[in-house]
Amino acid sequence: MSETVKYLLPEERLPRAWYNLVADLPAPPPPSLHPATGACLTADDLAPLFPASLIEQDASTERDIEIPEPVRDIYRLWRPSPLYRARRLERALDTPARIYYKYEGVSPSGSHKPNTAVPQAFFNQQEGTKRMTTETGAGQWGSSLAFAANLFGLEVDVYMVKVSYQQKPYRRAAMEAYGARCIASPSNLTESGRKILAEHPDSTGSLGIAISEAVEMAAQRGDTKYGLGSVLNHVMLHQTVIGIEAMEQMEMAGDEPDILIGCSGGGSNFAGCAFPYIGRKLRDGNDIRIIATEPAACPTLSRGVYAYDFGDTAHLTPLLKMRTLGSTFMPPGFHAGGLRYHGMSPLVSHAMDLGLIEAQSFQQTECFAAGVEFARAEGIIPAPETNHAIRAVINEAIACREEGTQRTILFVLSGHGHFDMQAYTDYFAGKLTDLPHDEAALARSTDALPEIQGVKPLISA
Amino acid sequence: MSETVKYLLPEERLPRAWYNLVADLPAPPPPSLHPATGACLTADDLAPLFPASLIEQDASTERDIEIPEPVRDIYRLWRPSPLYRARRLERALDTPARIYYKYEGVSPSGSHKPNTAVPQAFFNQQEGTKRMTTETGAGQWGSSLAFAANLFGLEVDVYMVKVSYQQKPYRRAAMEAYGARCIASPSNLTESGRKILAEHPDSTGSLGIAISEAVEMAAQRGDTKYGLGSVLNHVMLHQTVIGIEAMEQMEMAGDEPDILIGCSGGGSNFAGCAFPYIGRKLRDGNDIRIIATEPAACPTLSRGVYAYDFGDTAHLTPLLKMRTLGSTFMPPGFHAGGLRYHGMSPLVSHAMDLGLIEAQSFQQTECFAAGVEFARAEGIIPAPETNHAIRAVINEAIACREEGTQRTILFVLSGHGHFDMQAYTDYFAGKLTDLPHDEAALARSTDALPEIQGVKPLISA
């Protein structure tokens, strides 16, 4: 019994550089394209939305990108995050597998999101930004950016999908505690918001509308920029502190993962842990299996097509080459709000295309069952998103037991569920139903992809 | 900027023994008394409610009480908890003071409560208990006992005050996630509950009623015992892991507290950090100031009398010599539910009587203001209870600035506020008002203390 559970690194071992997967890939990722002209996206195209240093990171081919000291100093508030050996879960499953998890719920906002919120706020402040805008659905990203931007003296406007604004007052309160302004979207503050409200005064909003409002507000003011919590290369980059630390901690444990698992919505917590391991796999040729998990109701990697698509429903964003269900795909209202995105990080999609990772999708009730099993063994109540990773972990561990094979499994526990307990309440009340994706809707939304519409660049891409 | 923020101990440094303050006190604490006979309470009197080992701990005069290995093995899931240097708060306050906090929010349930829930569950299981009952108000203790008891295969029935049961579904969901049964109190399951419901079918319950139900259920079944989250000596004992670790971590930091601060409801997080320091003060004669903080609306230590009183409103418990506002005192409905208790740990009260600690009380809005200031500097959003400690810390740090004096302040950050964000929402909405205690009600409730009623033992005590 009395064996180490937590592998802790001292602050001195905080990574000094983020890891850029692009440097090790056998083929560069396809470029992003301007939505109007179809030309390759330039730094100038993005300048109204992002500071130059982040745009540069998006395009960088350097392997190691230095983490500025002021960012490391804030990371110290919770990083290096602990790596746990799930000894109690192993015993509960009676498996020969060794299960480890990298726990990102120790951050102030309870998830991995501040890993990128902090550098985004830092680089914005360095380049003179006074205010940041962003959108948030469930509120995980909004509260993380609110936390980070406050530390650099930036104002933050968070456009929160109105139905979440009303139903999730806890997250809103967290944003306000950090000094951010939280605005129910659609709002009267923007053109896009006013247009929606004129047509649908009772609109409860959507992530697509909230993105439009946040982007519009950032684009029209010189001192205001936009922050995005997933999908883009620089976000994946910042999250690699997870995997870099995990590698060193696995070494402390004297072990090495055979399987790495993370849940994937826009891709950031998965990429954060996986990319350093993919890089090593590419350099060393080891045969680690890397699995991204997602909801059956929004199976972007498992069932999406690899094509150029818009990042938002309003078609304001650049065209990104990615696994997508089509920007008009509306996933049903399941409980893992962080996994309800029609697209996927272009870099994660590219890694999938190169055969470096695999994907698995799960129904929500089997995911909550896994989360409850985990909580009863290990104590931590995981976020609904994370339960998708845990489902896969438990399945693999059971397979080890049945085959009598020892394997080492590492997964990212992206956040705790303390803000998401309504989902557990609904689960225990039997109110959750399994929601497979709608085949007909998927056919319609992928049919409506821009390449079908003959957008010029897509032909040449 | 780049100086250590977190002082971390490896699991090997987990304390091997709890510290029993009674061993170092110049005078033993007054005995507890049987509510009917007035005689000194015996182990037999308590046997229907608690396992023998906990009853023994309550009466022990040994300084060090060994922590069983299975308990240490569960402590490993989050302990040793980190000690933080609040460098950002110090800078925000522009104070020469050095501020440290021991962060207990890293436990699975988000507070210090599992420190005692785990050993209580262990000793119960060792002595054959199959089921534990307890009461909970806001749900912090209920979810902690649910977590702990599940790990030892015990069933748990939590009687949750009905109004909280309805208003705080998140905590209830956490208890259910750990496999506990959560019952709205008053319930039809007990005599006490049925009696209340017959008279007041719409009763929204009270902690007093919930205690009666939990105690009744435990007393009448041989395989069922009762768990209490604060007040009793064995609870204070288990919490001393906080202070024992903090001492070692302060040594790592090369510093020594001049002032120690903790919020105090029943007294357990305060005692957990303070008792090891009080013990050292008694042995070494150093002049550390130790301050317990509490709400102005329920000023047990600041304004209570030191007398024998019942622990509950229904007068089922033993008579405890403690600081009390009178068991009929009904504090107003302020937001720090964990500090709404009419009494105080007898050991904490005794330490106060011996002049070893002092008390300060604060209004709730000034406490939330302090909590928000802390969150914006340090990231962690504290529980409303903890804000009472933070108010005192900030006041002391400001005094240091004004006097130009350097002092080192250590406080316990007893838990995060992620389950309590409604309180912050109300604070930001301007809905919180300051609630001084009601002088007339206090006079009535202290007049009604049992010694006034001539209960025999109180004369001889």
pLDDT of A393 strictly over 60: yes
pLDDT in tens, A187-224: 999 998 999 999 999 988 888 789 889 999 999 999 99
Query: Of B458 and A61, which is predicted with more confidence?
Result: A61
* Alpha-carbon gap: B435 to the closest alpha carbon of chain A (Å): 22
Residue B294's pLDDT is what?
Answer: 96
Residue B202: is it exposed, middle or buried by C-beta count within 10 angstroms (0-12/13-18/19+)? exposed
Among B104, B167, B376, pick the best mutation site for testing chain A contact (most A Cβ within 10 A).
B376
pLDDT in tens, A314-355: 787 889 999 999 988 877 777 887 888 889 999 999 999 999
Angstrom distance (rounded) from CA A135 to CA A211? 5
CA Rg, chain B, in Å? 21
Question: Which residues of chain B, if any, have pLDDT below 50?
Answer: 1, 452-461
pLDDT of A116 strictly over 70: yes
CB-nearest to B2 from A6, A8, A69 is A69
Residue B461's pLDDT is what?
Answer: 30
Angstrom distance (rounded) from CA A115 to CA A18? 11
Chain B, nearest residue to A1 by Cα: B73
Confidence of residue A233 (pLDDT cuts 50, 70, 90): very high
Residue A460's pLDDT is what?
Answer: 31
Angstrom distance (rounded) from CA B15 to CA B247? 11
CB-nearest to A380 from B108, B380, B381 is B108
Residue B327's pLDDT is what?
Answer: 86
CB-based contact A259:A230 (threshold 8 Å):
no
pLDDT in tens, B227-285: 999 999 999 999 999 999 999 999 999 999 999 999 999 999 999 999 999 999 999 98
Residue A115 lies in a domain: no
Residue B44: is it exposed, middle or buried by C-beta count within 10 angstroms (0-12/13-18/19+)? exposed
Residue B154's pLDDT is what?
Answer: 98
Residue A316 lies in a domain: yes
Which residues in chain B touch residue A5, judged by CB atoms under 8 angstroms apart?
11, 73, 76-77
Residue A333's pLDDT is what?
Answer: 77
Average pLDDT over residues A68-87: 98
Residue A227 lies in a domain: no
Angstrom distance (rounded) from CA B113 to CA A433? 34
Among A1, A76, A182, pick the best mutation site for testing chain B contact (most B Cβ within 10 A).
A76
Which two three-digit tokens encode residue A325?
């269900």
Residue B158 lies in a domain: no
Task: Report helix, strand or coil for A339.
Answer: helix
ipTM > 0.85 (yes/no)? yes
* Alpha-carbon gap: A286 to the closest alpha carbon of chain B (Å): 31
CB-nearest to B376 from A150, A422, A428 is A150
CB-based contact A100:A378 (threshold 8 Å):
no
Residue A2's pLDDT is what?
Answer: 57
CB-nearest to B418 from A1, A4, A110 is A110
Is A252 near chain B, with CB under 8 Å? no
Residue A26: is it exposed, middle or buried by C-beta count within 10 angstroms (0-12/13-18/19+)? exposed
What is the count of structural domains for chain A? 1
Residue B288 lies in a domain: yes
Residue B404 lies in a domain: yes
pLDDT in tens, A151-180: 999 999 999 989 888 888 889 999 999 999
| Helix B169-177 with A421-428: angle, nearest 10 deg | 60
Ramachandran region, residue A254 (left: φ > 0; alpha: ψ -120 to 50; beta: rest): left
* Alpha-carbon gap: A64 to the closest alpha carbon of chain B (Å): 21
Which two three-digit tokens encode residue A407?
């394997």
Compute, in degrees rounded to 10, the torsion defined by CA atoms B449, B454, B456, B458.
Answer: 40
Residue B194 lies in a domain: no
Question: Are the Cβ atoms of A69 and B176 closer than 8 angstroms?
Answer: no
Interface of B with A in 49-108 (CB under 8 A): 69-70, 72-73, 76-78, 84, 88, 106-108
Q: Which domain holds residue B361?
A: 5-13+68-110+234-447
pLDDT of A12 strictly over 80: yes
Is B381 near chain A, with CB under 8 Å? yes
Please give the model's pTM, rounded to 2 decimal places.
Answer: 0.95
pLDDT above 70 covers a percentage of chain A that reads: 97
CB-based contact B102:A31 (threshold 8 Å):
no
Residue A62 lies in a domain: no
CATH label of the domain that carries residue B285: 3.40.50.1100
Alpha helices (runs of H) in A34-100, residue ranges in sequence order? 43-46, 52-59, 69-75, 87-93
Question: Are the Cβ atoms of B147 and A379 closer than 8 angstroms?
Answer: yes
Verify cis geometry, omega within 30 degrees of 0, for the bond prior to B318.
Answer: no
Which two three-digit tokens encode residue B228?
């209490």
